[in-house]
Structure 1
Amino acid sequence: MARISFDNPRRLNALDLDGWSAIAAGLRRAAQETTAPVVITGVGRAFCAGDDIAALPALMADRVLAEAFFVDGLYSAFEAIVTHPMPVICAVNGLAFGAGLEMVAAADLAVAADTATFGVPEGKLGVIAPVFTALATTHLGFKPANSFAYRMSTYTAQQARELGIVNEVVAPERLEQAVDAVIADINAASPESIMITKRMLATRARDEALPRLKAGLRAVVHELLPSANAVEGTDAFFAKRPPHFER
């Protein structure tokens, strides 16, 4: 088994460009070194709070930097998840918001602690959850995907299971044991059979969703980040007040 852990609990494991690049590099290294599944998890009370919001003002001010963050860093990480030869499993130890939830949705399998919470609140920042909107209708049903994307509510682990975001919900102290059981089931098959199964099951995500994702990320960079509403959403977030968007 290969393992990628987010270990910045002070910032709820929010990811900057280096973090996204490290995910892609870790998955590429695992593909070269092992035929085991890959587990992605977090340290502390969060799985991953998504993109580091503190980086947004700099991304808004510099389109080249924004391209590097979204189109190079973030896209490369999700491409690596979808195209990894073996299953990628999210062990969701806590809060999974924004791109954190998007990783759970993109992964092949997910096991969550019953204390975990889920949401994609990007619309409240004046932007979108591009990975979720690109992958959700491939991985989830139409109505469940819409519920997450449009309502921007916070969902419990059990609700996330009912909507198809996670496969299994367990007590926090059983999370590692439950993930080990999933891996044992996978390892009961030959690596070659699992690799071909992954390649076939990921066809739509690879061929349809990834191109949509790249287009969505470019829309974030060129249409949303320069907008007045993105500025307002970010200002409101830092001021801890509701945003007042232009209609």
Structure 2
Amino acid sequence: MAAAPQEHPLVLERSGAVARIRLDRPSLHNAFDAGLIATLTATLEQVGAESDIRAVVLEGSGASFSAGADLNWMRGMATASEAANREDALALARLMRTLDELPKPTIARVQGAAFGGGVGLVACCDIAIGVPEAKFGLTESKLGLLPAVISPYVIAAIGARQARRWFATAEIFDASTALQIGLLHQVVPATQLDEAVERQLALLLKAGPHAAAGAKHLVARVAASSDRDRMDADNADLIAMLRVSSEGQEGLSAFLDKRAPAWANKE
């Protein structure tokens, strides 16, 4: 186990092919400040570059997943210049993009409340599993602000129509609503949360490593494409490349031979 500096607590644990990153400021509901944003970004970049890591779980300590911005940090930024606020916002944008584009499948283990930037973290993960007691809110408009930096990821998760409501009202919503609008993929009792996460990890580790990691990039590219001819050509190129790749050849051979592929034995 490796831990970040204590002033910005974040715990990184590796177990086989899985890395678990835990926000560890329970007394502050795992709220962000500049230091935690920088540390989390660096930690994600680190595990993203590790070839033996095949999946990442993002979680929080204590009662909350993440309450978004730390109040003391917000107080400081309220008196800072517009230029300083812009640099601060760009740092948060880098964190969100790093998580969204991480070259590993990611799972958000949402054991409690997520507000503001915490919702952004959930939206950036490929799979999000929460408990019925979890609460969510894009509460920035109560402060005369908007969830601008996290908006691309939240809108991608819940859609523009839902985002227009929740961004404007700052209303708190529950886990069943989060499931309905697409922020969560699954809601399970707290006693079954770890089991549900492990089930998804097991599925990811049975998939081809490059295929599982590349799924998010395929989805993003297709969703952004407006040129159907180019999209068809790019997708044909991709499947052709995958079929002749070592991973594709092993996967197809294992299926035809009715055996487990080699990567399934390296969990």
Matched, 1:80 2:98: yes
How many residues are matched?
206
Structure 1 CA distance for aligned equivalents of residues 135 and 196 of structure 2: 18
Counterparts of residues 170-185 of structure 1 (less than 5 Å): 170-185=188-203
Distance 1:195 1:13 in 2: 27
**SS of equivalent to 2:41:** helix
Higher relative contact order (CA 8 A, sep 6+): 1
Counterpart contact for 1:96–1:117, Cα < 8 Å = yes
Separation in structure 2 between the aligned mates of residue 28 and residue 168 of structure 1, nearest angstrom: 27
**CA distance in 2 between partners of 1:67 and 1:204 (Å):** 31
Please state whether the residue corresponding to 1:84 is helix, strand or coil: coil
Change (3 A) 1:69 1:206: farther
Q: Distance in 2 between matches of 1:108 and 1:28?
A: 16
Give the CA deviation at 1:156: 0.9
* Superposed counterparts of 1:149-188, under 5 Å: 149-188=167-206
Q: Distance in 2 between matches of 1:206 and 1:176?
A: 34
Identity, % of aligned positions: 28
> What's 1:21 paired with?
38
**How many angstroms apart in 2 are the aligned matches of 1:62 and 1:131?**
18
1:132 to partner: Cα distance = 3.9
Is 2:80 aligned against 1:69? no
Instruction: Select 1:191's aligned residue among 209, 219, 229.
Output: 209
The answer to whether the 8 Å contact 2:96/2:150 transfers is: no
Distance across 2 between alignment mates of 1:17 and 1:206: 31
> Partner residue of 2:165?
147
* In structure 1, C-alpha distance between the alignment counterparts of 2:33 and 2:128, rounded to whole Å: 23
Query: Normalized against structure 2, the TM-score is what?
Result: 0.72
Q: Would the aligned equivalents of 2:131 and 2:175 in 1 still touch at CA under 8 Å?
A: yes
**What is the letter of the counterpart of residue 42 of structure 2?**
A
Change (3 A) 1:31 1:133: closer
**Cα gap change, 1:147/1:38 in structure 2, threshold over 3 Å: closer, same or farther?**
same
Structure 1: gaps (5+ residues): 208-247
Q: Is the 8 A contact 1:82 1:202 kept in 2?
A: no
Q: State the alpha-carbon separation in 1 of the partners of residues 224 and 89 from structure 2.
A: 18
How is 1:46-65 mapped onto 2 (pairs within 5 angstroms)? 46-63=64-81, 64-65=83-84
Which moved further from structure 2: 60-69 or 150-159?
Answer: 60-69
Q: Secondary structure at the match of 2:218?
A: helix
Q: Alpha-carbon deviation of 1:118?
A: 0.5
Superposed CA RMSD: 1.9
- 1:56 and 1:112 map into 2 onto residues whose CA distance is 27
**Partners of 2:123 and 2:183 within 8 A in 1:** yes
- Structure 1 SS opposite 2:182: coil
1:37 equivalent to 2:59? Answer: no
Q: Deviations over 1:124-148 (max 9, x none)?
A: 1111111343233323222222222
1:91 aligned to 94, 104, 109, which one?
109
**How far apart are the structure 1 equivalents of 2:170 and 2:71?**
17
Q: CA deviation at 1:165?
A: 0.5
C-alpha distance in structure 2 between counterparts of 1:137 and 1:8, whole Å: 27
Task: Give ranges in structure 2 of 5+ residues lacking alignment.
Answer: 1-17, 226-267
Distance 1:125 1:191 in 2: 43
Give runs of ≥4 in structure 1 deviating > 6 Å: 204-207
Q: Does 1:138 align with 2:140?
A: no
